[in-house]
């Protein structure tokens, strides 16, 4: 019985943590292309720089978003869920507003 209660407690904590990580937030920063502007990728990929943090943007499973900024930068507000993969921060986008 004690083991079952411990397991249920751990599952509850894991569910709470995964729910917190999946929360959407809005970020404001400089949107640019990882290949053309930042020279950090082999293919065009959108990024959002917020302070010192660089997020790789994903929209609909693609790294080149509907508001693609290839050369130069643009101020943008991006809403989405933050994920971390392979030591990189990704922002899975639900809304982009380029100024």
pLDDT tens by residue, 29-38:
999 999 999 9
How confident is residue 14, by pLDDT bands cut at 50, 70 and 90?
low
Q: What is the mean pLDDT of residues 14-38?
A: 80
| Domain edges within the chain | 25-98
pLDDT tens sequence across 49-86: 999 999 999 999 999 999 999 889 999 999 999 999 99
Of 84, 80, 72, the residue nearest 96 (C-alpha): 80
Distance CA 39, CA 93 (A): 22
Residue 47 parent element (H or E): strand 46-50
Distance CA 42, CA 70 (A): 13
Between 8 and 36, residue with greater pLDDT: 36
Q: Please, which residues have CB within 8 angstroms of residue 13's CB and are 6 or more apart in sequence?
A: none
Whole-structure pTM value: 0.76
Distance CA 81, CA 24 (A): 5
């Amino acid at each position: 019985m004690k083991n079952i209660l411990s397991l249920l407690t751990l599952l509850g904590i894991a569910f709470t943590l995964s729910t917190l990580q999946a929360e959407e937030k809005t970020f404001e920063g400089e949107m640019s292309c990882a290949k053309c502007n930042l020279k950090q990728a082999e293919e065009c990929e959108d990024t959002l720089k917020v302070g010192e943090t660089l997020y790789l943007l994903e929209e609909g499973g693609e790294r080149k978003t509907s508001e693609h900024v290839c050369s130069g930068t643009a101020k943008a507000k991006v809403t989405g869920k933050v994920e971390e993969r392979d030591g990189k921060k990704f922002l899975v986008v639900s809304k982009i507003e380029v100024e």
